[in-house]
Structure 1
Amino acid sequence: MRITCPNCGERDRREFYYQGDALALSRPAEDAGLDAWDDYLHNRDNPAGETRDLWFHEAGCGAWLVVERNTVTHAVLNVTLAEKATP
């Protein structure tokens, strides 16, 4: 898979660190129970189809990116700097 970084251009996905869903993950309160923390740390949806994910350009410019992609076809549909992405 190739990701086009807005700063660096097209790069192999191995330059990037995958963080997960760009919008759905919300950290529990400090006093939340163990079940809430276990769910936050270990359970993620794995949808087939279009997703919006947060990626870090670790081996490049260090930018955080929102990558819209299709998990079935591996097609990258859009890449936006996270600071400019809309929810």
Structure 2
Amino acid sequence: MLLIPCPWCGPRDEAEFRSGGESHIVRPDPDTADDATWAAYLYDRDNVRGPGYERWLHRHGCGRWFNVARDTVTHEIQAVYRMTDPKPVAGE
């Protein structure tokens, strides 16, 4: 079980959260994007082995979304930051 530090509520058990998948995915411009661009946006994910970025929802707590820099091999959480905060460098 992971102990995830919510930016607003502090450290909580993983069962209180829901993973939202990879974070920092930029939505294409609907006026200029073709079908291949939309398909890549909707379905293509990095699925990294090692340091990566994820979105998490504190569903049984404050109900807020936030980002986590986490190593997918060791499950070590390297950074937790709000959606509006700048992206840290993973693996540091």
TM band (smaller chain)? 0.7 to 0.9
Matched residues, number: 85
In 1: Cα distance, 2:62 partner to 2:27 partner: 27
- TM-score using structure 1 length: 0.80
When normalised by structure 2's length, the TM-score is 0.76
Task: Determine the structure 2 residue equivalent to 1:27.
Answer: 27
Higher helix share goes to which structure?
1
What's the offset of the Cα at 1:60? 1.1
Q: Say what the alpha-carbon RMSD is for the aligned residues.
A: 1.7
Matched AA of 1:61? C
Amino acid at match of 1:79: V
Greater relative CO, 1 or 2 (CA 8 Å, sep 6+): 1
Corresponding residue number in structure 1 for 2:71: 70
Identity of aligned residues (%): 40
Stretches of structure 1 that go unaligned for 5 or more consecutive residues are none
Contact 1:63–1:81, Cα closer than 8 Å, also in 2: no
Distance 2:28 2:15 in 1: 30
List runs of 5+ in structure 2 lacking aligned partners.
88-92
Match of 2:16 in 1: 15
